[in-house]
Amino acid sequence: MGLVYLLQIDEEVAKLLELKARLGGDDGKHQFVLKTAKGTRDYNPKQMAIREKVFNTIISCFKRHGAETIDTPVFELKETLTGKYGEDSKLIYDLKDQGGELLSLRYDLTVPFARYLAMNKITNIKRYHIAKVYRRDNPAMTRGRYREFYQCDFDIAGQYDAMIPDAECLKIVYEILHELDLGDFRIKVNDRRILDGMFAVCGVPDDKFRTICSTVDKLDKMSWEDVKKEMVNEKGLSEQAADQIGEYVSMQGGMDLAEHLLQDQKMSQSKQACAGLSDIKLLFSYLQLFQVTDKVVFDLSLARGLDYYTGVIYEAVLTQAGSTEESVSVGSVAGGGRYDGLVGMFDPKGRKVPCVGVSIGIERIFSIMEQKAEVSAEKVRTTEVQVMVASAQKNLLEERLKLTAELWNAGIKAEVMYKKNPKLLSQLQHCEESGIPLVAILGEQELKDGVVKLRVVATREEVSHTVDIHTAPHLRTI
C-alpha cells in the first residue's frame, strides 16, 4: 500500500514538473508554442494575392448572373443548426455556454441563409455569400481540407418553373471552373427523388434511406466492395438489396440514361423516381441551350450526404487522364442542389420557399492554384504599385514626397522609400523584387530642367516627362 502511495506521489510530482517546464522556469516567464490551431492556417501575401484573384473571378461571375450579396453572423443558435446535416452533425463546433444562449459556429452558409429568409419573410432572392465556416473534422490540409475555411455560395430562392434556376447554377459552376483554368472537370448530376425511388424499389426500408444515402455518398472515396460491406455489416441492409443498388449506382450517362431508366421495369414503379428522371431530362435540355453538356454527366452514384436536399443534386470534380480511356477524379471542387423544405423548417407556419444553390469549394481551388504558382516561373505580385518615386542624389526627400503625393492624388498607385537618402541601386532593386513596372527618377539636373525621368524597370528604357512638382495632375498619363 505504501509503495503504491509513493508511486502516486512520484507521478503527481512528475506532472507538476512537466507543467512547470511548460509554463517556464522560476523566472515566471510564460513559454508557449507558436502555432496555429489544428486545421487552420495563415495566408502570406503571395497566397492572399492568389486568393484575391480567385475571389474576383468568382464574384464577377456571380454578379454577371445578377446576384446580390448578404452576410450573417459567424455563430448561430445551436437549435438552428441541429438536425440539418445528417451524420455530419457531429462535426458542428458548439461554443461553451456563456450563461445565456446555446450557440454553435456555422457549419455552412446554406442553413443560415434559410434562417435569414424565414426570419425576414423573403420569398425570392438571388444571392451570393462568401464567408468562413467551421467543422470539427480531422483535416487533410494537404488536400485543401481545414477546420476553418471559406465557403462561396450562390443560391436562387423563389417559386419558378422547373429546372431553369437549377440549370443556371450548373452554368455558373461551368463558367467559374473554365475561367479559373484548373484543368479538365466533370459535373455529376443526380436527383434525391431518383435515389429515394431507387432505394425503395431495391428493398431498402424507409427508416434506412438517409443512412444508406450517406454510405452511397462515400463511393467517390471507397470501392463498391467497401461500401457494400458498410451497408450490410454496419447498416443492416440485406445483401440482395445492396447488390441491386450496386447495379444502379454504376450507371452514368446523359438524357439518354434518364429515358432508359423511365422505361426500367423496377425504376418505373416509383412515382418519385419518375418525377426526378423527368426533371433530369428537362435539365439536360436547358443545359444544351447553355452549351455545357460536354462537361455534365448524369451519375446515379452521386448522393451528397446532407439531409436537406430534396431534388436535383450535383458535384463538380477535377479529373486527370488515367491509364485507360476513363478520367480519374482528383477531388470535388463544387457541389449543391435543390432544398425546397429547409426554409419551411424555420417558418412558424411552415411556409416553404423553394431554393437551389451551389457551393464553390474554394479551399481546394486555392490549394491547386498555389501548387500551379509554385511550379510556374511567373512571379506572383503581392502589391499593385505602378510606379516607384526614386532619387538619384541626396537631399531630395521633399521633392520625392511631393511627387508621390501628386501621383496618389491623381489616382496612381505609387510608393516611396522611407529613407532620407536611399541609394538609387537599392530603390531599383526594390522595384525588381516587388514587380513594380515603372520608376520615376528625380535628380538635381532633372529638377532644374523641370523633368522627371521615367524608367521601365524590365527593359531599362528611359523617357523624360516635363513636370511641375507642385502641380502634376497630367501624371495620370503614366
DSSP conformation letters of 138-177: ---GGGT--SEEEEEEEEEES--STTHHHHHHHHHHHHHH
For residues 281 and 391, membership in a common domain is answered with no
Return the pLDDT at 168. 97
Task: Inform me whether the pLDDT recorded for 250 exceeds 90.
Answer: no
Q: Which residues 6+ apart lie within 8 Å of 222 measured at CB?
A: 230
Residue 109 marked as a ligand binder: yes
- 423 burial (CB, 10 Å; 0-12 / 13-18 / 19+) is middle
* 211 annotated as ligand-binding: no
Q: Is the pLDDT of residue 473 over 90?
A: no
Instruction: Give residue-wise pLDDT tens across range 322-380.
Output: 434 445 556 789 999 999 989 998 888 888 999 999 999 888 898 888 888 888 877 88
Q: Do residue 357 and residue 461 come from a single domain?
A: no
Which pLDDT does position 172 carry in this prediction?
97
Residue 138 lies in a domain: yes
pLDDT score recorded for residue 128: 97
**Is 339 annotated among the ligand-binding residues?**
no
Q: How many domains, in total, are found in the chain?
A: 2
- pLDDT at residue 133 greater than cutoff 90: yes
- Residue 391 confidence (pLDDT): 94
On whether both 70 and 172 belong to a single domain, the answer is yes
Q: Note the pLDDT of residue 206.
A: 82
118 & 230 share domain: yes
Mean pLDDT for the chain overall: 86
Does residue 110 have a known ligand-binding role? yes
Q: What is the CATH number of the domain that holds 321?
A: 3.30.930.10
Are 133 and 158 contained in the same domain?
yes
The answer on 393 and 370 residing in a single domain is no
Residue type, 427: Q
Is 145 annotated in a binding site? The answer is no
* pLDDT grade for 143, boundaries at 50, 70 and 90: low
What confidence tier does 167 reach under pLDDT thresholds 50, 70, 90?
A: very high
438 is in an annotated binding site: no
Same domain, yes or no, for 326 and 393? Answer: no
Does residue 199 form part of some domain? yes
**Length of the chain as a residue count:** 478
Res 478: pLDDT: 46
Does residue 476 register a pLDDT over 70? no
Range of the domain at 278: 45-375
**308 annotated to a ligand binding site:** yes
The confidence score (pLDDT) of residue 87 equals 67
pLDDT tens across 42-95, in order?
999 999 999 999 999 999 999 999 999 999 999 999 988 887 776 677 888 999
Residue 423 included in any domain:
yes
192 lies in the same domain as 328: yes
Is 150 assigned to a binding site? no
- The beta strand positions in 13-142, using DSSP E, are 68-69, 75-77, 103-105, 125-134
Across 1-15, 160-174, 185-199, 218-232, least confident range: 1-15
3-state helix, strand, coil in the chain (%, to 5): 45, 20, 35
| Confidence check: pLDDT of 256 > 60 | yes
Angle (deg, nearest 10), helices 192-201 and 239-249: 140
pLDDT per position as a tens digit, 172-216:
999 999 999 988 999 999 999 998 888 888 888 888 888 888 888
We report the CATH number of the domain holding residue 403 as 3.40.50.800
Task: Please indicate if the annotation marks 151 as binding a ligand.
Answer: yes
* pLDDT above 70 (res 471): no
Instruction: Report yes or no on 24 lying in a domain.
Output: no
Residue 21 lies in a domain: no
pLDDT at 46: 92
